[in-house]
């Protein structure tokens, strides 16, 4: 595999009205111990100073390329629209890399609302070099405490890569047919990789600080309505969905639980045609069953306790 012989990667960032966050991300990418060979920033109909910032970066760094989408879509949509914008960015990045003969072994995605530690990509690429079967890896997502003085790991299943920031091994990206248009494209990518025999993981000690909580933009309730729809199309059973809702009501956020419930059962009652079919849907349905979800929660809690003990 060519990816075992290189640390080179190309990177994509979708940006919509990110004039406050994009300069912070850019500084952290520019300061990486391993810089991307090419970084494509896709400006999705921004109405603030995002375009000016991208143009300034392009003029200073030849390996940064801006691409503007101006189709009049002004709403922020973290699901279908997001996947379309990211897919466009990947298509452009790979086309440019081919035309300019830019070698790369990995393909990366980072959203505009992150700040990355200096060795972020170095740490993840080291994991790929150590394990030839690793197809997708993300960093650990960290949030700031209310006073902004400390950061803490946003607990998720450590065996599942986060949607961003992440790297795909080039061979894995090709095997799964690239980036898919879906409500939760990161979840679909993870499942497709596993179906094709690849391992996936979250590299928790590769620190990415998110400047706003995951899916908080546009409203938590609306975000979890979309999550509910995605769960329906992935084949999650009503019992598994209700078990997750109960867990959220007891230990997480009632708005998330309500949105998940509304999204799932609105799709179920309308008997929407499944967007995901065949082996992928069966695989996801099994993985999101009640027993597996209990195992994920226990793993998440255990990992979180370990992180907490290290941070004391």
User: Is 215 contained in some domain?
Assistant: no
21 shares its domain with 117:
yes
The rounded distance, in Å, linking the Cα atoms of 134 and 129 is 9
pLDDT of residue 280: 85
The rounded distance, in Å, linking the Cα atoms of 143 and 152 is 5
128 shares its domain with 259:
no
Choose the final residue of a domain: 158, 188, 210: 210
65-72 long-range Cβ contacts below 8 angstroms, 24+ apart: 65/38, 65/39, 65/40, 65/41, 65/92, 65/96, 66/40, 66/41, 66/42, 67/40, 67/41, 67/42, 67/43, 67/92, 68/43, 69/42, 69/43, 69/44, 69/45, 70/45, 71/45, 72/45
129 shares its domain with 171:
yes
Alpha helix (H) residue ranges in the chain: 22-30, 50-60, 80-99, 120-130, 170-175, 185-195, 220-233, 238-251, 254-270, 278-287, 290-311
- Residue for token digits 């620190």? 207
The rounded distance, in Å, linking the Cα atoms of 242 and 288 is 12
Strands 64-69 and 38-44: parallel
pLDDT of residue 309: 41
Structure tokens at 44: 């999705």
pLDDT of residue 293: 58
For residue 239, give its domain range: 220-311
138 shares its domain with 242:
no
User: Is 178 contained in some domain?
Assistant: yes
CATH value at residue 12: 3.90.550.10
Choose the final residue of a domain: 182, 210, 238: 210
224 shares its domain with 206:
no
Distance of CA 294 to the CA centre of its chain: 23
The rounded distance, in Å, linking the Cα atoms of 163 and 182 is 13
9 shares its domain with 116:
yes
203 shares its domain with 253:
no
User: Is 235 contained in some domain?
Assistant: yes
229 shares its domain with 299:
yes
129 shares its domain with 150:
yes
The rounded distance, in Å, linking the Cα atoms of 243 and 111 is 31
Structure tokens at 43: 């400006």
pLDDT of residue 312: 40
pLDDT of residue 3: 82
The rounded distance, in Å, linking the Cα atoms of 33 and 121 is 8
Cis upstream peptide for 210 (omega within 30°): no
Distance of CA 119 to the CA centre of its chain: 19
131 shares its domain with 227:
no
Q: How many domains does the chain have?
A: 2
Q: What is the pLDDT along the chain (312 residues), one digit of tens a residue?
A: 778 889 999 999 999 999 999 999 999 999 999 999 999 999 999 999 999 999 999 999 999 999 999 888 777 666 688 999 999 999 999 999 999 999 999 999 999 999 999 999 999 999 999 999 999 999 999 999 888 889 999 878 888 999 999 999 999 999 999 999 888 899 899 999 999 999 999 999 999 999 976 655 557 888 888 889 888 988 888 988 898 898 888 887 889 899 999 999 999 999 888 877 788 888 888 887 766 656 656 655 555 545 554 444
Q: What is the pTM of this model?
A: 0.85
Length, in residues, of the chain:
312
118 shares its domain with 178:
yes
Choose the final residue of a domain: 210, 245, 275: 210
189 shares its domain with 273:
no
Q: Is the dihedral of CA 52, 53, 55, 60 positive or negative?
A: positive
- Residue for token digits 């047919």? 177
User: Is 39 contained in some domain?
Assistant: yes
């Amino acid at each position: 595999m060519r990816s075992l012989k290189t640390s080179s990667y190309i990177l994509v960032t979708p940006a919509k009205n990110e004039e406050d966050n994009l300069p912070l991300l850019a500084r952290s990418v520019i300061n990486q111990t391993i810089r991307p060979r090419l970084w494509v920033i896709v400006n999705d109909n921004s109405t603030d100073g995002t375009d000016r910032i991208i143009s300034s970066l392009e003029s200073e760094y030849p390996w940064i390329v801006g691409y503007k989408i101006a189709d009049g879509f002004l709403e922020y949509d973290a699901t279908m629209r997001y996947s379309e914008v990211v897919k466009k960015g990947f298509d452009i990045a790979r086309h440019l890399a081919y035309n300019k003969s830019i070698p790369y072994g990995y393909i990366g995605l980072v959203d505009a609302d992150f700040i990355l530690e200096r060795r972020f990509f170095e740490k993840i690429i080291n994991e790929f070099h150590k394990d030839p079967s690793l197809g997708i890896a993300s960093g650990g997502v960290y949030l700031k405490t209310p006073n902004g003085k400390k950061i803490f790991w946003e607990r998720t299943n450590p065996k599942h890569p986060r949607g961003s920031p992440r790297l795909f091994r080039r061979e894995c990206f090709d095997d799964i047919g690239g980036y898919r248009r879906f409500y939760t494209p990161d979840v679909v990518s993870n499942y497709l990789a596993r179906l094709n025999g690849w391992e996936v993981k979250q590299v928790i000690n590769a620190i990415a600080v998110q400047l706003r909580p995951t899916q908080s933009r546009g409203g938590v309730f609306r975000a979890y309505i979309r999550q509910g729809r995605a769960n329906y199309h992935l084949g999650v059973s009503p019992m598994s969905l209700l078990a997750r809702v109960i867990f959220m009501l007891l230990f997480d956020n009632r708005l998330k639980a309500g949105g998940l419930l509304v999204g799932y059962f609105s799709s179920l009652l309308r008997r929407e045609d499944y967007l995901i079919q065949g082996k992928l849907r069966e695989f996801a349905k099994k993985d999101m069953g009640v027993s597996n979800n209990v195992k994920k929660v226990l793993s998440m809690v255990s990992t979180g306790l370990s992180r907490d003990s290290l941070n004391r």
